[in-house]
Amino acid sequence: MELHAAQFPFLSTLLLFCIASLGLVLVLPKNSNTAVKWVSAVCSGATLALALFLFAAYDRELGGMQFVEQYRWIPALGISCIHGIDGFAAPMLLLTGIVFFTGVLTMWHLKHRVKEFFALFILLVTGVYGMFMALDLFFIFVWFDVSLLPMYLLIVIWGSTLREYGAMKLTLYLLFGSALILPGIVYLVSVSGLDTFSLPALAQKGVFSGFEQKVAFFLFYVGFGILAGVWPFHTWSPPGHVAAPTAVSMLHAGVLMKIGAFGILRVGMFLCPQGWVHWAPLMAVLATIGIVYGALVGLRQTDLKFVIGYSSVSHMGIVGLGFATMTVDGINGAVFQMFAHGVMTALFFSAVGHFYDQTHTRQIGELGGLCRVMPVAGSYFILAALAGIGVPCLASFWAELLVFIGAFRVYPVLAIISLGVLVINALFILRVVEKTCFGPMAVHWAHLQDVTFGMAIPRAVLAAAIVIFGLMPFLMYEVIQTATIPLINGLNSLAGQTAADSINTLLSQWMSRLP
């Protein structure tokens, strides 16, 4: 892992800006709702600008870990505050900035306990930013938990449908995942003999035995995988989506689920490549089940948020399938899918949130003809739906294309099953669009108001990201590939064979054990 020191502490500046904004929100008078919103807007806008700068300034030719900062914190325990981003983290910072900014603007109409909401929202996003840039296992764990804990309060106070149930189930599942991650970290640090939590130091070749890697990878895969919606640990996700307020649903599906996938990638796959090889067939099977399950259960839903929630389980299965291929195309597509799905699902929830604010219902059967009275809001909903089903020239298309290219090379049967189910799901999503936006309109919907210019801004930003990276996918692909190629090359040199050969060998071994 090549480290390139930062000439200026951009990453620390981003974190400190969030922390300072949080402090400012907390000291403002309780009834200063407008000031709280403007502080949050400035914070989200500034961090989006910085994340966009870091994404654009990342040197594609140099690659490696860039903008690296290191500050010794507890030397006796080997804990340091290390920040850095590579081709995997840079897109995730950009995704977080986009969803944070649009989420704040989407909740501009909030009137109930405004100060508390935006304080928790900023705290959550601070943990997300920290997680994506941390290169020390201790801080990875800390930021991971910081990003999770505010979710309970955000849902239970400002949520709607079954909010207590959704918040509690989400919290219990995610804390269980955290309880698996911590033993994995302690185990690796203990057996390494290096007396450090530094990820670059622990990632050196030969630090861990094959058995140690297999044990640790399983803990990380399940621990982080719970947040990523890996089947069968996904059941917290759809109720959490439905119960959360609009901006929290956007952040929940758009960013938080990506933390789980990123944790598997950054910690599990980087530190335990032999464990990755060993568990890859199981990862592929669970990912395929998740794709199929999410799509088919989504067919039975009548609530728009539940449709999107189960669709997210299915789309995150595509990320898991890409990881399991252990190919350059598969990993590139998986990380691209993390970004594309994050932006798409944020736009989806934002559009549904406006529908609900106007109609006070999310039941598909009660809606219809909404594009006649809300053409702008309906257009954003349709764009999100088209991106979700992988229409060409939208961001999700390229991500899914790369994943299935890799999957067909390694797991052709699983790839065929997944694609077949996704085609059925696409037909259902189009049917949902038809029932919601077109067809006869009920008379009592004639008074509905379309999104105003101000409320159209966050939707327009999300729509622009979907279209820009759909028309110019190389902007994302070139960044991701700088991290993918060294990862796969290191894996191949370790195994002494190609990734596909490794998987085929393991599959043969697993099949030979069956009765």
pLDDT in tens, 240-299: 877 888 888 888 888 988 999 999 999 999 888 888 888 999 999 999 999 998 888 888
Strand partners, 69: 83
Predicted pLDDT at 102: 93
Distances (CA, A) of 411 to 4, 316, 327, 404, 443: 37, 17, 12, 9, 51
- Section 316-344 average pLDDT: 92
- Positive or negative, the CA dihedral 156, 162, 164, 170 is negative
Non-local CB neighbours of 56 within 8 Å, separated by 6+ positions: none
Predicted pLDDT at 510: 45
Predicted pLDDT at 162: 77
CB 469 within 8 A of CB 395: yes
CB 50 within 8 A of CB 67: no
Predicted pLDDT at 89: 93
Q: Return the SS3 of 85.
A: strand
User: Comparing 23-27, 235-239, 374-378, 404-408, which segment has the lowest mean pLDDT?
Assistant: 235-239
Rounded to a whole number of angstroms, the CA Rg of the chain reads 22
- Section 52-58 average pLDDT: 94
Side chain identity, residue 181: I
For residue 232, say if its preceding peptide bond is cis, omega within 30 degrees of 0.
yes
pLDDT band at 51 (very low <50, low <70, confident <90, very high): very high
Residue 367 pLDDT > 90: no
Predicted pLDDT at 1: 67
Predicted pLDDT at 493: 64
pLDDT digits (tens, 9 = 90+) for 159-201: 877 788 888 888 888 888 889 999 999 999 888 888 888 898 8
Residue 362 pLDDT > 90: no
Q: Return the SS3 of 62.
A: coil
Q: Quick one: what percent of the chain has pLDDT higher than 70?
A: 95
In eight-state DSSP terms, residue 269 is I
Residue 221 pLDDT > 80: yes
Predicted pLDDT at 208: 83
3-state SS string for 231-267 = CCCCCCHHHHHHHCCHHHHHHHHHHHHHHHHHHHHHH
Alpha-helix runs per DSSP H in 233-373? 237-243, 246-251, 257-263, 270-271, 273-298, 304-325, 328-359, 370-373
Which residue from 68, 55, 153, 58 is spatially nearest to 113, judged by alpha carbons? Answer: 153
- Section 90-117 average pLDDT: 91
Non-local CB neighbours of 89 within 8 Å, separated by 6+ positions: 132, 133, 262, 266
CB 470 within 8 A of CB 394: yes
Residue 515 pLDDT > 80: no
Residue 463 pLDDT > 90: yes
Residue 509 pLDDT > 50: no
3-state SS string for 129-149 = HHHHHECEHHHHHHHHHHHHC
Which residue from 301, 451, 461, 294 is spatially nearest to 388, judged by alpha carbons? Answer: 294
Average per-residue pLDDT in the chain?
87
pTM summary value: 0.90
Predicted pLDDT at 299: 80
pLDDT band at 494 (very low <50, low <70, confident <90, very high): low
pLDDT band at 489 (very low <50, low <70, confident <90, very high): confident
Strand partners, 65: 3
Exposed/middle/buried for 73, CB within 10 Å: 0-12, 13-18, 19+? Answer: middle
Non-local CB neighbours of 224 within 8 Å, separated by 6+ positions: 177, 181, 259, 260, 261, 262, 263, 264, 267, 268
In eight-state DSSP terms, residue 192 is H
CB 308 within 8 A of CB 385: no
Strand partners, 136: 198
